[in-house]
Amino acid sequence: MQIWPGRPYPLGATFDGSGTNFALFSSVAERVELCLLDDDGGEERLELTEVDAHVWHAYLPTVRPGQRYGYRVHGPFDPANGHRCDPSKLLLDPYAKAIDGQIDADPSLYSYQFDDPAERNTDDSAAHTMVGVVINPFFDWGYDRPPNREYHESVIYEAHVKGMTQLHPDVPEEQRGTYAGMSHPAVIQHLVDLGVTALELMPVHQFVNDPHLQEKGLSNYWGYNSIGFFAPHNAYAAYGTRGEQVDEFKVLVKALHEAGIEVILDVVYNHTAEGNHQGPTLSFRGIDNASYYRLVEGDEAHYFDTTGTGNSLLMRSPHTLQMIMDSLRYWIEEMHVDGFRFDLASTLARELHEVDRLSAFFDIIQQDPVISQVKLIAEPWDVGEGGYQVGGFPPLWSEWNGQYRDTVRDFWRGEPSTLGELASRITGSADLYEHTGRTPVSSINFVTAHDGFSLRDLVSYNEKHNEANGEGGADGESHNRSWNCGVEGPTDDPEILALRARQQRNFLTTLMISQGVPMLLHGDELSRTKGGNNNTYCQDNELSWIDWELDPENAELLEFTRSLIALRAEQPVLRRRRFFAGAPQHGGESEIGDIEWFTPAGEHMDDEDWDTWFAKSVMVFLNGNAIPEPDVRGEKIVGDSVLVLLNAAAEPIDFELPGTDYAELWTTALDTFDTSAVGKEHDAGAALTVAGRASIVLVSGGQEQQ
């Protein structure tokens, strides 16, 4: 085979139409072999002799897309000093654009003997590991353009590729659980009808199905165990894994863009699937362990772990940072995605021990002309000391607002002394973000997400029920701020079922009338249950998949959710770009009257009202004529005013509507107790009864306001 010198950049395997350039970084390698694999298990080893700036490279004019390959890296195996090169292990290219195969639990994947960890294991791992695939990078994108949805107009829908499509009756069986299934017109139409503007996909980077889960008959369903940061996960491919998954993913993005829906990827750059010092040698560990991983200072045989997974990537290594930035740019420029949600993002901020929001990672993103222009969302915590950083990320970033989730859950389950906190959360959490020059869209508001109860389970269970995970119920969060409405789990009691349905509508209503960016968990609009399991990370079965067969009550919730999202889209005062002028304390008011707070008696809230521990009801006026920011054309935004009545008390409460200074007439836009009340009209100053644990949203109908 002809071997030309090739180039050290770009890293990975790059097909140019004539041949393929291979480039691999390793600062510790003494010798590197490129291994070309055939379908019969044969392996051709080619030594790379060209090295520039620690990049080993060659150009092979005869290698075409579909070729499977890996590396063997010869160098020091000295764990005590952080080096773990092991040429008996076939290694995955960190820059592989497509990956074939999965790992199993074979001992050959490990560089030590199970019965004697001090002894080396030199068994060859080639038959038991994943390998890279050369891809054809050329794809007809046609007229694809990013939707470029404004943040304040966005509604995010968090979804799992398999869970969303595995049971969908309109998706052909061979496409279920795949990218092709996700791009099926029936699935996309559901998103369009719902009114969501962005699909946030749970991890689609190639991840590892952990051997310890396989041994228990379980699997890594969620996928937060990445090993390939450039490759779409091959198990979600309907039509092959020799590079076909790349085009299949691109077809999905193109179809969503045609429907006006953005694609946001949940990405896991904080650790890899190689785990701790007892983990397998799959890629980074055998290539250049000390350059990719954060090791314990003075004890380099062990890994510094702030992720709870066994390792953390080294954020002060230029080569690690380059890989992450190259990955982000690749998914933007080549795969056309529109943003990222960063798992355990506090770990990315740890250059040393402390979380530093001005670390090199954020500096590089800030100045990057490509990455800085897409949606960037942080999960603002990790499991390390000082890792909870809600409100602490730089201005360019939005954050999953865990305080919003906790406050809204507490309010609707009837916890005392929550009114003031609720006011801050539904007005955009100015107390968390405004002091650093950020805006309401810094807050990604959510009540439920993949990690935790579904919305239906949130109102059906007081305790987690994770027995199926095989960990004796020890896994998963124990403090869920949930309320079962009187009975744990399933019940036939009509009163409890009605209350649970109303509570689901209350949560959704609060989410959609709050300033910030709402995020909906897939299936919550269908009243999806996970049987009380709040940690279905290992449940690749009906417990996690969406059941699309709807009973009348679930169909009613779907229609309610559609109308609720439509209401948000119709009313600009519900999706402002800037904070209200009122002080954030106790939801304060302002001279321009853009927001005003009332007791049920129709009186302005004062400090005593806010501090009354047992108060569970409030009325808020959002002035559609006092939106200070202009629209995209620079014109003043004028819309309806909105009056929100919230009653988390068990008993009905009479609310006195504001006088004619606010509106002559109010029209019911939604009522979570009586869904048939939509369209009813109410005069200014009239009394309106809000049922126990219910909410009503009224719209002024464009009447003149002061």
The shares of helix, strand and coil residues in the chain, as percent rounded to the nearest 5, are 25, 20, 50
Residue 339 has φ and ψ, to the nearest 5°, of: 170, 180
Strand-pair partners of 630: 636
Q: Which helix (H) or strand (E) holds 191?
A: helix 185-194
Give, as one character, the DSSP assignment of residue 306: S
Q: Which residues contact 22 (CB under 8 A, 6 or more apart)?
A: 6, 12, 13, 34, 48, 57, 58, 59, 60, 69
d(CA 277, CA 302): 6
Going by C-alpha positions, the residue among 453, 473, 423, 390 that lies closest to residue 644 is 423
d(CA 447, CA 430): 18
How do strand 665-671 and strand 116-120 relate by DSSP bridges?
A: unpaired
Going by C-alpha positions, the residue among 158, 132, 617 that lies closest to residue 412 is 617
Q: Per the structure block, which two tokens stand in for 314?
A: 């080294």
Going by C-alpha positions, the residue among 573, 587, 578, 577 that lies closest to residue 431 is 587
Strand-pair partners of 382: none
Choice among 379, 399, 589, 609 that is catalytic: 379
Going by C-alpha positions, the residue among 536, 513, 12 that lies closest to residue 222 is 536
Q: Per the structure block, which two tokens stand in for 202?
A: 């749970």
d(CA 410, CA 421): 10
Q: If DSSP codes are grouped into helix, strand and coil, which group holds residue 35?
A: strand
Hey, what's the torsion of the CAs at 539, 540, 543, 547, to 10 degrees?
160
Q: If DSSP codes are grouped into helix, strand and coil, which group holds residue 440?
A: helix
Going by C-alpha positions, the residue among 619, 507, 568 that lies closest to residue 153 is 568
343 catalytic residue (yes or no): yes
Render 333-357 in DSSP notation, one character per residue: HTT---EEEETTHHHHT-SSSS--T
Looking up tokens 């068994």 gives 123
297 catalytic residue (yes or no): no
Q: Give me the numbers of helices (H) and strands (E) for the chain, helices first please.
A: 16, 33
d(CA 636, CA 629): 7
Choice among 244, 343, 421, 596 that is catalytic: 343
Catalytic residues, by residue number, are: 343, 379
